[in-house]
Amino acid sequence: MKVVDENGFSSAARALNLSTSYVSRQLSALENRLGVRLLNRSTRRQSLTPVGALFYRNCSNILAQLEEAELAITQLQSVPRGLLRVNAPEAFGSTYVAPIVAAFMAQHAELEVELALDDRAIHPVEEGFDVVIRLGETAGRNLLSREIAPLRRLLVASPSYLTDRGRPTSTDDLADHALLLNNQDPSGHHWQLHGPGTIESVPVRPTLSSNSDVVLKAACMAGQGIAYLPDYLVGAELVEGQLVHILPDFVEDTVGIHAIYPENKHLSARVRLFIDALVDALGPNPPWTFEEAPA
């Protein structure tokens, strides 16, 4: 790690008070034992291989955990230190998580944060994240989760679309409409619509599919169809009448926004306090709670 941190064998050797040849031999021995090349070497610079970058990141996490274990013994565990790696969906992360991260960093000067925004499925352990924020997902194997805020999904359309195509009065009517589908939804080409005492599985033949709810919202507002979107994304437009909530009896309110994190016996201070900050800022009465404009 010192070779990477100090940007070279010579500077790493000086920092460790060792000879350059000894440091080089130790790295070669590690690569031989692992059976992989960790570092690309040239006369002017060294750079991590992809495997080396993964190994470096995991070692960094291990060292951070060791540091936190020492802090726990000295009763300083309440102070978050080291690198906190967070992943969140793109639209939700940029709108709501980013300001929380900024405020959290202002409170904890010894903390470094990496915030990655990504809509694909992420496994915290496999990709080295401390916390993964997801809409509707809960923990899997060797993972824990905590709900940080409630969330609803709603069927919405623009007034212009409803004027042109008519307003559906039942789920059966949706078959005659242009439907906009998030193709990352685990239900596939179906909407699981939660009605009074029932869940209806509605097949969707989309006129537009995307892995981004932002794309679907833009198409919906342009009058291109009906979308099934989270309320945090469309609340303001519903209040202003730019979008209309259709089939209001069918609202999925069991989704929830969850913080997913690796199952560790001792939850690190940086993870514990960051999840607390998310809950304090977003739940149980999230800032996107709204009252719709009259239909």
Q: What is the pLDDT of residues 259-277, one digit of tens each?
A: 999 887 567 888 999 999 9
Per CATH, the number for 2-73 is: 1.10.10.10
Say which residue, 141 or 228, is predicted with more confidence.
Answer: 228
Looking at the chain, the domain(s) classified CATH 1.10.10.10 span 2-73
Q: Closest Cα partner for 91 from 202, 257, 291, 242?
A: 257
Percent of the chain whose pLDDT exceeds 70: 91
Residue 24's pLDDT is what? 82
Residue 68's pLDDT is what? 65
Looking at the chain, the domain(s) classified CATH 3.40.190.10 span 82-150+255-282, 153-246
Is this structure's pTM higher than 0.75? no
Residue 249's pLDDT is what? 92
Average pLDDT, the chain: 86
Q: Look up residue 39 and give its two tokens.
A: 């570092």
Report phi then psi at 178, rounded to 5: -80, 125
Say which residue, 185 or 247, is predicted with more confidence.
Answer: 247
Ordered alpha helix ranges (H), 79-202: 90-92, 98-107, 124-127, 159-165
273 touches 110 (CB < 8 A): no
Q: Is the pLDDT of residue 217 over 90?
A: yes
Q: Among all chains, which residue has been given the structure tokens 């020492």?
A: 70
Q: Is the pLDDT of residue 133 over 50?
A: yes
Per CATH, the number for 82-150+255-282 is: 3.40.190.10
Q: Which residues pair with 115 in a beta bridge?
A: 86
Q: How far apart are CA 270 and CA 232, in angstroms?
A: 26
Please tell me the least confidently modeled range out of 9-13, 107-111, 185-189, 226-230: 9-13
Please tell me the least confidently modeled range out of 100-114, 124-138, 152-166: 124-138
Q: What is the DSSP string of 17-50?
A: TS-HHHHHHHHHHHHHHHTS--EEE-SS-EEE-H
Residue 216's pLDDT is what? 97
User: Given pLDDT bands bounded at 50, 70 and 90, which one contains residue 167?
Assistant: very high
Q: Is the pLDDT of residue 49 over 50?
A: yes
Q: How far apart are CA 121 and CA 163, in angstroms?
A: 37
Q: Is the pLDDT of residue 75 over 50?
A: no
CB atoms within 10 A of CB 183: 13
Rounded average pLDDT over 176-202: 89
Percent of the chain whose pLDDT exceeds 90: 47
What is the distance, to the nearest Å, from the Cα of residue 117 to the centroid of all Cα atoms in its chain? 6
CATH 3.40.190.10 holds for 153-246: yes
Q: Which residues pair with 243 in a beta bridge?
A: none
